[in-house]
């Protein structure tokens, strides 16, 4: 039986093309029936309509996560050892990290893996990764793997190296490197780059069917509590795709998700004998194909046009590309010609140049209108690149949370003051007509849309240092970047992302009006989340007071 609801008596920020502030919204079932004047909607609403008095609170479209790794946050909370340092966590030194790994090992049967995550060598007191020997000291009975916060490198103990068969004779793969003792050539346990880590870098590592869906439920509940009803798994291996495909087609998982397959899986993924063109469950959708151009700033593997402010490697003072220009051109050409949208991880400006070169070559060979190929992260893009992106039809999703979590290290170590001031240059993108979104890249940083808006609007580091650089955006722009612009970026603007007739009835109700209150953004709370016309999260009075 279809249910209806009438929302009124509070600012309703629609995020439509005119940024209309509506008086009332009528929903019937999962869809928005009408938006307009309260008297008109009262006259046409069904007799059994539920009246929802907003009592002055603000309603917006539910948030959309334009780039993340759902359900990895749930895996961390349930199955892994959180080694995050301030400002995210409280693991301040190596002794604490090793102690936590040891405590986990004691709870597990001999021979089972212990996996530590979110370790940040730039934030830990010793300013380095743990060594193979230190992890051996934690346990010789368990393979131990510590993954960096960026997800781009890690360190293994001897038991783990034995498990994966890594020896002094194992060659380095393209775009990756195995740490080696300079005297003996033996592996040090350090493994750098996606290609070198292999399964150790997969978000699905050590996750079986039951654990996958436990992690899914944990992450779903977290996202709903922060006003999100749509997210992404932005790097899906064949194994991860199979996990999602295992969910019954006729059941609602309680969350809607876009899943981005690894680009290298094509063309076999969609054209082979076991081709997957989409999922049977309507709440999961295959999205763009994902590629990588470079690495991470914390490891100085993001690929820059100019040297890092304080290079850690004399052999690679500008970082390194993850693939050759020839290989990236071939991958982009293949996916472009197949008609897929492409999301490409480009942290550095030189990494972005590689991708833009590849897109330009692909467009020249096979012109396509409105492809919406997207640079993911785009931390240090320049005006000449935005001009080129506008011409090529390329969009960008900014990792603006870096301003808070790593802004001081960008200023002091990675980029220096001038380049750090232009981190996630959203205002420049807008000036050049490049449509953008904002993301947290969960689980690299937790998915928190309000805090993310604060990062892009106020642009201050965790210690309060301003990184303005003329790149501040308005509160409304930060909200649009996580609602209608996020829907547009993946071709969903006709069904979600704004409060307009015919769209899915996904809303977030906030405790106060955001517009014009940039300094107060962090005081905003999500009080209620509505998904497909039904309330799926509601904050208690006690929770509202305690926050």
Helix (H), strand (E), coil (C) string for 406-421: CHHHHHHHHCCHHHHC
Spatial CA neighbour of 269 closest among 309, 241, 301, 233: 241
- Supply the pLDDT for residue 285: 98
Residue 443: asked if its preceding bond is cis (omega within 30°), the reply is: yes
What would the mean pLDDT of 8-34 be, rounded to a whole number? 98
Say if residues 94 and 125 touch (Cβ distance below 8 Å).
yes
Distance between CA atoms of 353 and 268, rounded to whole angstroms?
28
Q: Where are the domains of the chain?
A: 4-62+501-546, 85-148+153-192, 209-489
Structure tokens at 237: 């291996």
Distance between CA atoms of 8 and 41, rounded to whole angstroms?
10
What would the mean pLDDT of 174-195 be, rounded to a whole number? 89
Distance between CA atoms of 39 and 202, rounded to whole angstroms?
54
Confidence of residue 195 (pLDDT cuts 50, 70, 90): confident
Query: Who has greater pLDDT, 530 or 544?
Result: 530
Handedness of CA 148, 154, 160, 165 (dihedral sign): positive
- Supply the pLDDT for residue 129: 93
395-398 and 436-438 strand pairing: parallel
Radius of gyration of the chain (CA): 23
Q: Give buried/exposed letters for 340-368 (b at 16+ CB in 10 A, else e).
A: bbbbbbbbbbbbbbbbbebbbbbbeeeee
Q: Which residues contact 330 (CB under 8 A, 6 or more apart)?
A: none
Structure tokens at 221: 């509940």
pLDDT in tens, 202-212: 878 999 999 99
Distance between CA atoms of 3 and 508, rounded to whole angstroms?
19
Please give the backbone phi and psi of residue 203, each rounded to the nearest 5 degrees, phi first. Answer: -60, -20
Residue 479's alpha-carbon distances to 45, 47, 138, 437, in angstroms, are 29, 34, 45, 9
Structure tokens at 544: 């509202």
| pLDDT cut 90: percent of the chain above it | 88
187-192 and 177-180 strand pairing: antiparallel
Mapped onto helix, strand or coil, the DSSP state of residue 206 is coil
Angle, helices 72-79 vs 209-225, to 10°: value is: 110
pLDDT in tens, 489-526: 999 999 999 999 999 999 999 998 777 656 679 999 99
- For 6-140, where are the alpha helices, taking DSSP H only? 38-44, 72-79, 94-106, 132-138
Looking at the DSSP assignment, which residues form a beta bridge with residue 25? 7, 35
Distance between CA atoms of 29 and 360, rounded to whole angstroms?
44
Handedness of CA 259, 263, 264, 270 (dihedral sign): positive
Structure tokens at 163: 């498990």
Distance between CA atoms of 453 and 456, rounded to whole angstroms?
5
What would the mean pLDDT of 181-186 be, rounded to a whole number? 90
Residue 232: its H or E element: strand 228-236
- Supply the pLDDT for residue 177: 87
- Supply the pLDDT for residue 375: 99
Distance between CA atoms of 256 and 15, rounded to whole angstroms?
20
pLDDT in tens, 350-367: 999 999 999 999 999 999
Say if residues 437 and 450 touch (Cβ distance below 8 Å).
no
Structure tokens at 147: 């993954």
- Supply the pLDDT for residue 202: 82
DSSP 228: E
Question: Maximum CA pair distance of the chain?
Answer: 83
Say if residues 363 and 407 touch (Cβ distance below 8 Å).
no
Cα–chain center distance at 241: 18
pLDDT at 54 over 80: yes
Query: Who has greater pLDDT, 97 or 513?
Result: 97
Confidence of residue 432 (pLDDT cuts 50, 70, 90): very high
Residue 127: its H or E element: none
Fold of the 209-489 domain: TIM Barrel (3.20.20)
What would the mean pLDDT of 470-482 be, rounded to a whole number? 96
- Supply the pLDDT for residue 104: 95
Cα–chain center distance at 534: 26
Distance between CA atoms of 424 and 513, rounded to whole angstroms?
25
Spatial CA neighbour of 459 closest among 489, 428, 422, 432: 422
Query: Who has greater pLDDT, 401 or 517?
Result: 401
- Supply the pLDDT for residue 203: 79
pLDDT at 395 over 60: yes
Structure tokens at 405: 């979590």
- What does 146-175 look like in DSSP terms, one character per residue? EEETTSSEEEE-HHHHHHHT--TTPPPPTT
CATH of 4-62+501-546, one of 3.90.226.10, 2.30.40.10, 2.40.50.140, 3.30.9.10: 2.30.40.10
pLDDT at 545 over 80: no
- Supply the pLDDT for residue 546: 52
Say if residues 281 and 334 touch (Cβ distance below 8 Å).
no
Q: Mean pLDDT score of the chain, rounded to an integer?
A: 95
Confidence of residue 318 (pLDDT cuts 50, 70, 90): very high
- Supply the pLDDT for residue 543: 62
pLDDT in tens, 274-292: 888 899 999 999 999 999 9
Mapped onto helix, strand or coil, the DSSP state of residue 400 is coil
Q: Residue holding tokens 């749509």?
A: 230
- Supply the pLDDT for residue 274: 81
Torsion of CA 244, 65, 229, 206, to 10 degrees: 30
Count Cα neighbours of 480 within 13 Å in the Cβ-side half-sphere: 19
Structure tokens at 148: 């960096």
- Supply the pLDDT for residue 277: 85
């Amino acid at each position: 039986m279809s249910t209806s609801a009438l929302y009124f008596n509070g600012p309703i920020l629609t995020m439509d093309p005119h940024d209309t502030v509506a008086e009332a919204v009528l929903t019937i079932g999962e869809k928005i029936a009408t938006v307009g004047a309260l008297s008109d909607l009262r006259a046409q609403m069904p007799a059994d309509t539920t009246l929802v008095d907003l009592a002055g609170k603000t309603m917006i479209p539910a948030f959309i996560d334009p780039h993340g790794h759902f359900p990895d946050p749930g895996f961390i909370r349930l199955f892994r050892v959180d080694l995050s340092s301030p400002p995210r966590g409280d693991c301040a030194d190596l002794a604490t990290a090793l102690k936590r790994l040891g405590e986990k090992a004691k709870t597990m049967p001999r021979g089972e893996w212990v996996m530590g995550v979110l370790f940040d060598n730039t934030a830990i007191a010793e300013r380095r990764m743990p060594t193979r020997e230190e992890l051996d000291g934690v346990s010789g009975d368990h393979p131990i793997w510590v993954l960096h916060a960026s997800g781009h490198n890690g360190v293994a103990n001897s038991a783990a190296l034995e498990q994966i068969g890594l020896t002094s004779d194992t060659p380095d793969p393209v775009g990756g490197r195995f740490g080696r003792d300079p005297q003996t050539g033996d592996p040090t346990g350090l493994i750098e780059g996606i290609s070198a880590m292999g399964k150790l870098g997969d978000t699905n590592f050590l996750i079986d069917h039951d654990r996958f869906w436990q992690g899914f439920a944990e992450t779903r509940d977290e996202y709903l509590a922060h006003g999100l009803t749509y997210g992404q798994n932005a790097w899906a291996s064949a194994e991860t795709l199979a996990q999602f495909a295992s969910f019954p087609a006729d059941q609602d998982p309680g969350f809607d998700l876009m899943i981005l397959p690894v680009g290298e899986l094509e063309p076999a993924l969609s054209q082979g004998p076991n081709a997957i063109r989409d999922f049977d469950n309507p709440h999961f959708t295959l999205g763009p194909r994902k590629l990588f151009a470079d690495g991470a700033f914390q490891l100085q593997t993001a690929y820059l046009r100019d040297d890092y402010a304080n290079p850690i490697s004399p052999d690679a003072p500008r970082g390194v590309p993850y693939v050759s220009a020839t290989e990236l051109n071939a991958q982009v050409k293949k996916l472009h010609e197949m008609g897929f949208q492409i999301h490409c991880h480009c942290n550095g400006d030189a990494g972005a140049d590689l991708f833009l070169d590849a897109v330009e070559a692909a467009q020249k060979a096979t012109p396509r209108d409105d492809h919406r190929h997207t640079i993911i992260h785009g931390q240090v893009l320049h005006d000449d690149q935005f001009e080129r992106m506008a011409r090529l039809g390329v969009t960008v999703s900014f990792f603006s949370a870096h301003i808070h979590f790593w802004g001081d290290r960008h200023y002091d170590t990675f980029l220096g003051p001038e380049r750090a001031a232009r981190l996630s240059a959203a205002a420049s993108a807008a000036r050049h007509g490049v449509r953008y979104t904002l993301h947290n890249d969960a689980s690299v940083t937790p998915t928190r849309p309000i805090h993310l808006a604060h990062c892009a609007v106020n642009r201050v580091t965790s210690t309060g240092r301003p990184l303005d650089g003329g790149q501040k955006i308005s509160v409304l722009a930060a909200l649009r970047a996580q609602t209608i612009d996020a829907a547009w970026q993946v071709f969903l603007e006709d069904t979600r992302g704004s409060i307009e007739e015919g769209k899915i009835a996904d809303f977030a109700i906030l405790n106060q009006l955001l517009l014009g209150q940039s300094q107060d953004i962090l005081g905003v709370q999500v009080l209620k989340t509505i998904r497909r016309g039904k309330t799926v999260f509601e904050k208690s009075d006690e929770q509202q007071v305690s926050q």
